[in-house]
Chain A
Amino acid sequence: MIHFENVGLRYGMGPEILRDMTFDIPKRSFQFLTGPSGAGKTTLLRLMLMSLHPTRGLIHMFGRDLSQIPRTELPMLRRRVGIVFQDFRLLDHLTTYENVALPLRVRGKDEGAYRNDVIELLKWVGLGERINVLPPVLSGGEKQRAAIARALIDRPEILLADEPTGNVDPPMARRLLNLFLELNRLGTAVVIATHDLGLMDQVNARRMILTEGRLDIYE
């Protein structure tokens, strides 16, 4: 589904943060992406989201060579990817409900058609009571779950999650992990960037480890 070949990336004139990345994210796969802080996990996820161009190398998304795709078509591909940001990126003037519904709104869907889906998903991530609340009054963990719900609402083919358990207690972390596993079982490929070893130990999954710009993969 995602294929990287000799991808390298540097910001500005700085050092190469990612070097010779060659890997595949198969359909329906589940993997952790880990590495020390500043290793480039977020950068790698942004490459997979097609919001950053590699300095060199080839990226294929959904079987298509990204360098051959006109920029106007990228949003359509991006809609098949769900992303949870490290810093959530919820819009403060929209309620939890409206934030989660945003991807559907962007796709031009009618509110009546998705209202129940959104509410159901919010209940499912434990935000049933926080539907009409603005993000500034949500706790870190609640924001996290709202961000996850937003990434899931349109049933993406691949979910990229950047530190999705960074702000929740271990039971909640386990619950979110179970959610991701269940999603994966239903056919969504999942990439979880984390440095939470405890979390990774709970699942026997593929690990992609970034160190000093290089990637090692442990199946």
Chain B
Amino acid sequence: MNELSRLRARKVGKPSATEQQPRRTEMHVRPTAPILPASNIQGNALMVVIAIMAFLACLTLGAVSMVRATAASWQSQISREITIQIKPEEGLDMDATLQKARELALTFVGTRSGTIMDDDATARLLEPWLGTGLDLSELPVPRLVIITIDEQNPPDFAAMRDLLASEVPQAFLDDHRTWVDRLVSMAHTTVLIGIGVLVLVFTAMILTVIFATRGALSGNRHIVEVLHFVGAERSFVATEFQKHFLKISLKGSAAGSALAALLFATANLWQSRSLATPESDQATALFGTFTIGFGGYLGIFATMIVIALLTTLTARFTVMRTIDEIDFIRSDPARSEGAPPS
């Protein structure tokens, strides 16, 4: 009955050192394994999916921020010059009107100087279309006043336009904004589309994780059952699954975002290496520079973290709900017909 007395000693919590001494050899146990088996094919597939999603999310994010930066730089660029165009009209004293428009424009703060394009200059401008040796006074050609402006402190274009309209009805003020505005609004649309893509990517990811979690739950149903029988609370089971998915999603999203970061870095490198070659200039004109900068890499890192968190939270939430369902079905004899008798 030696064993039983030892058990009794254990039961009452008395240190059983005297009986134990000869047996005190330390047993080696491996570091405690996670309750959910670490890897299986399903987990690997999920990891790849998360990596792809993270990659796409980072690419979209990078593209969006590049377009935004380009648009912002366009938007802030004020042309250094504006032009006032005077349309010829019957009985109009062109030279006087040009002079007047110039003076009116120069009354505004922020304008620097005004040049009236003289006949020669205008003729040169028109040469490609009309040929040489033409007499401008015979043609109804509009004339231009070029106003240089202070970029740091631009004049109020709207007020200038209003004043010109009332004083010199033949004048037309062109601040070259129209095409820039159009480009900028196009860029904004692109940004919106990018955000839409981002939302889609995230939604798809959440759905994938929900399916994966449910799959993992039914694949590990026997574990859930045993945990239930030994008195595990719902939150304990959820935490176990959450750990499992945190590992998978951290690995996946780290791989995906690292790939994206690498891509941006390579593009950047290529661009700076081939600076001033026609290909690179074209690319720059199209996409802006590929630099996403420190902030961009920080954004990629943030995306990775967000994805990992999102995955983990989704897993937890799904497990909580599914465990409730399982619990409910298990405890209800009317619904447990299909379940294995236990």
Contacts and interface: CB of A to CB of B under 8 A. Distances in A.
Nearest to A53: B331
Interface residues of A, number: 55
Interface stretch (B23-31, B106-114, B165-173): B23-31
Contacts of A102: 35, 226-227, 230
A154 to B, nearest CB: 8
A72 B232 CA distance: 10
Q: Is the interface of B mostly helix, strand, loop or mixed?
A: helix
B316 to A, nearest CB: 16
B321 interface: no
Interface stretch (A104-112, A136-144, A163-171, A210-218): A104-112
Interface string B17-39: 00000010001111011010100
Interface string A112-132: 000101011101100000011
Contacts of A132: 28-30
B233 A75 contact: yes
A9 interface: yes
A83 B230 CA distance: 8
A55 interface: yes
A98 interface: yes
Contacts of A207: none
A51 interface: yes
Interface in A36-93: 42-43, 46, 49, 51-55, 71-72, 75-76, 78-79, 83, 85, 87, 89, 91, 93
Contact of B33 (A52, A93, A155): A93
A195 B342 CA distance: 17
Interface stretch (B7-15, B47-55, B122-130, B284-292): B7-15
B4 interface: yes
A53 B231 contact: no
Interface stretch (B61-69, B85-93, B332-340): B332-340
B140 interface: no
Contacts of B337: 11-12, 14
Nearest to A151: B230
User: Which of B223, B327, B333 has the most chain A CB atoms closer than 10 A to its own CB?
Assistant: B333
Nearest to B231: A79
B341 A131 contact: no
A106 B227 contact: yes
User: Which of B6, B7, B30, B37 has the most chain A CB atoms closer than 10 A to its own CB?
Assistant: B7
B330 A51 contact: yes
7 contacts: A10-B334, A71-B327, A91-B223, A107-B231, A115-B29, A182-B4, A182-B8
Interface of A: 9-14, 42-43, 46, 49, 51-55, 71-72, 75-76, 78-79, 83, 85, 87, 89, 91, 93-95, 97-98, 101-103, 105-108, 111, 115, 117, 119-121, 123-124, 131-132, 150, 155, 178-179, 182-183, 186
